[in-house]
Amino acid sequence: MVRAANPPHPLLLVTAVATVCAALPQAVLAIDLAKLYGHVGAKRGDACHPYEPFKCPGDGNCISIQYLCDGAPDCPDGYDEDSRLCTAAKRPPVEETGSFLKSLLASHGPNYLEKLFGSKARDALKPLGGVDKVAIALSESQTIEDFGAALHLMRSDLEHLRSVFMAVENGDLGMLKSLGIKDSELGDVKFFLEKLVNTGFLD
């Protein structure tokens, strides 16, 4: 899930940790978090205790996961309440979003996501910085406006994307069908877009 070769984006790590925390018993958690936090810590060997696995990036203080996004700053610089971090915590994991986008590209070709994100989304999203960058932007952008700003989308492309989201919000799947989304994929695409809408993407 998180590769050791390149240090992952901090957000990948946080969502990975949150997923691990939700899914695994405490004993397994201890091992995995120690491994994960080896990449974030300034030095090897100063990983946080498994019961306080989140390391504040500023000063290396360790806090418990339950203090993430609880409305009160616990890291000295307030990073545990960072709006991008806390938005991402409500969204599907970045890896899951990335895999979903890649599966659409694999079955429809490298220019398919132009239908959603507009003309800069050709060539497997390379002009936007690649699939992972788009997946991270979808996770940490509080609203569609933030998403457009993060990826420097043109206004017309952003308004098209908004119209797709609004159609889904209104239960209108005809718009997705008209974009060439197959019946077999409609459920997954709808679920994906609804997750974003339900966590404030259109607010």
Task: Name which of 78 and 109 has its Cβ closer to Ca ion.
Answer: 78
Instruction: Give min distance, CB of 2 to Ca ion, in A.
Output: 23
**Binding-site ranges for Ca ion (CB under 5 A):** 67, 70, 72, 74, 80
- Whole-number Å distance between alpha carbons of 189 and 33: 32
Q: Which is nearer to Ca ion, 74 or 169 (CB)?
A: 74
**How far apart are CB 112 and Ca ion at their closest, in Å?**
40
Task: Provide the minimum distance between the beta carbon of 64 and Ca ion in the complex, in angstroms, as a whole number.
Answer: 9
What are residue 62's DSSP bridge partners? 55
Closest to Ca ion by CB, 61 vs 142, is: 61
Angstrom distance (rounded) from CA 33 to CA 37? 6
The neighbouring-strand residues paired with 63 are 54
Q: What angle do CA 177, 162, 203 make, to 5 degrees?
A: 130
* HSE, side-chain direction, 13 A CA sphere, residue 12: 20
State the Cα–Cα distance between residues 42 and 29, nearest whole angstrom. 21
* Shortest CB 22 distance to Ca ion, Å: 18
- When the beta carbons of 13 and 125 are compared against Ca ion, the nearer one is 13
Q: Yes or no: say if 92 and 195 are a contact pair by the CB < 8 Å rule.
A: yes
